[in-house]
């Protein structure tokens, strides 16, 4: 596509603009006739998606057609790039899931690589979250290389707990391989977290969740991560995973530039209440939008959509819409090395929306192609 044009209000500047684009943005010009209630922003980037639209990315048998259903549903939320996320499981199942997703990924460029969340996490109740305890295991460089081989080197993000012996050396090796390492699902000490950051870890995964029910006032691993200025942090802002006071304080600690919105969406996201699967786990979407381990109240991912996450962080935490959009677009893109922005030469990955609760997605473009329209 060459020379297509859209117009609206640039969310980052508040200026009415006209954007000419092909596969990349060719020009951005002031346009006083642009609609004042139709906003344009860089496409949203979701670093943690376990599944969507009834489809579980941890199932190694899912088909291209099933993934197409999930991807189209994700695009409709304004997300133009995302990391399918494989959680703790058996070595064989994790490898099979990654290999299957990698083969399918060739048809869906919005799949920007992969996030492996686990299996090198805390084994205790609380930090482990909903991950199956029997498959939690220490970091293994050879296992990581098998993941990379299965995905043609497209592991972009690994979440682990730095409490394991040798974790710092493992983190340093992954960082040398240009993989982003995140601290998460952890009960690590302050020294272990500091060693992880010194080794190159740059993110905290869904900070405030996957933690012990009771913590020391200080020190504890939440304060340690909030106080570490070298760590960005992702948050699940669905009004369920985090209380408002913690979210407000956490965002003040991290600041707009180091805050990242993720959905942690599981298969029930965008689907009807009822039973689903998350890897080997039976989960359930309740009528009030909670994803829980079947028969319990224990959270197991979310049903959050990114357009709602942005509206939620504006309403709950009191940030501006501009900052909320940055938390869902430029910040996660920068972390994993994706180019993002409404400027000449940048990929024509952008979303058009109207202000509502949640944001009303009007159109989504990826590499200049319109991949979703509400019309």
Residues 41-93 have pLDDT tens digits of 999 999 999 999 999 999 999 999 999 999 999 999 999 999 999 999 999 99
Same domain, 8 and 135: no
Tens of pLDDT along 182-198? 999 999 999 999 999 99
Task: Identify the CA nearest to 180 among candidates 195, 199, 207, 152.
Answer: 199
Whether 125 and 189 map to the same domain: the answer is yes
Residue 243: give its domain's CATH number.
Answer: 3.20.20.140
Q: What is the pLDDT of residue 264?
A: 98
- State the average pLDDT for the chain: 97
Residue 259 token pair: 């805050």
The reply to whether the predicted model has a pTM over 0.95 is yes
Catalytic residues: 264
Would you say residue 244 has pLDDT above 80?
yes
Residues 300 and 250 placed together within one structural domain of the fold: yes
- Whether 302 and 288 map to the same domain: the answer is yes
- 340: Cβ contacts below 8 Å, ≥ 6 apart: 42, 43, 45, 329, 330, 333, 334, 346, 347, 349
Kindly state whether residues 28 and 150 are assigned to the same domain. Answer: no
Same domain, 81 and 37: no
Question: Does residue 112 contact residue 349 with C-beta atoms inside 8 Å?
Answer: no
What's 3's domain CATH number?
2.30.40.10
Half-sphere exposure of 358 (CA within 13 A, CB side): 19
Q: Are 251 and 328 within one domain?
A: yes
Same domain, 9 and 134: no
pLDDT tens-digit map of 97-133: 999 999 999 999 999 999 999 999 999 999 999 999 9
Residue 1, pLDDT > 90, answer no
The answer to whether 32 and 7 are in contact (CB under 8 A) is: no
pLDDT of residue 86: 98
Would the pLDDT of 363 be above 70? yes
* Residues 2 and 146 placed together within one structural domain of the fold: no
User: pLDDT tens, 324-346?
Assistant: 999 999 999 999 999 999 999 99
Write out the residue range of the structural domain in which residue 232 sits. Answer: 44-338
pLDDT (mean) for 140-160 = 98
Report the pLDDT value the prediction gives residue 30, as an integer from 0 to 100: 95
How many structural domains is the chain composed of? 2
Residues 16 and 77 both lie in one domain: no
What is the mean pLDDT of the segment spanning 242-251?
97
- Gap between the Cα atoms of 226 and 249, Å rounded: 9
C-beta separation of 89 from 57 below 8 A: no
Q: Do residues 4 and 113 both lie within one domain? A: no
Checking if the pLDDT of 294 tops 50, the result is: yes
């Amino acid at each position: 596509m060459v020379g297509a044009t859209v117009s609206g209000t640039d969310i980052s500047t508040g200026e009415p603009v006209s954007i000419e684009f092909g596969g990349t943005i060719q020009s951005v010009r002031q346009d006083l006739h642009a609609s004042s209630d139709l906003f344009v922003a860089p496409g949203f980037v979701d670093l943690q998606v376990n599944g969507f639209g009834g489809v579980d990315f941890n199932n190694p048998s899912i088909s291209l057609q099933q993934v197409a259903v999930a991807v189209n549903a994700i695009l409709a939320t304004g997300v133009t790039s995302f990391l399918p996320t494989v959680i703790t499981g058996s070595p064989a199942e994790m490898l099979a899931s990654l290999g299957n997703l990698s083969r399918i990924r060739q048809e869906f460029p919005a799949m920007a690589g992969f996030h492996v969340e686990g299996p090198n996490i805390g084994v205790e109740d609380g930090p482990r979250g909903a991950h199956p305890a029997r498959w939690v295991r220490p970091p293994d460089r050879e296992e990581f290389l098998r993941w990379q081989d299965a995905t043609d080197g497209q592991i972009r993000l690994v979440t682990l707990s730095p409490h394991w012996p040798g974790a710092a050396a493992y983190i340093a090796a992954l960082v040398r391989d240009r993989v982003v390492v995140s601290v998460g699902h952890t009960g690590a000490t302050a020294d272990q977290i500091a060693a992880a950051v010194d080794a190159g870890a740059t993110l905290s995964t869904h900070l405030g969740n996957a933690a012990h029910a009771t913590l020391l006032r200080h020190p504890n691993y939440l304060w340690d991560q909030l106080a570490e200025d070298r760590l960005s942090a992702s948050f699940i802002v669905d009004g369920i995973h985090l209380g408002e006071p913690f979210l407000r304080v956490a965002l003040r600690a991290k600041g707009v530039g180091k805050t990242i919105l993720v959905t942690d969406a599981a298969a029930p996201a965008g689907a009807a209440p009822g039973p689903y699967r998350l890897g080997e786990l039976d989960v359930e979407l309740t009528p009030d939008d909670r994803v829980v381990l079947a028969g319990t109240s224990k959270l197991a991912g979310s049903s959050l959509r990114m357009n709602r996450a942005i509206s939620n962080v504006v309403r709950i935490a009191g940030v501006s819409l501009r900052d909320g959009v940055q938390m869902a677009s430029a910040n996660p893109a920068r972390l994993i090395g994706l180019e993002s922005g409404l400027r000449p030469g940048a990929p024509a990955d952008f979303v058009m929306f109207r202000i509502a609760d949640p944001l009303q997605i009007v159109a989504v473009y990826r590499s200049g192609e319109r991949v979703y329209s509400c019309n």
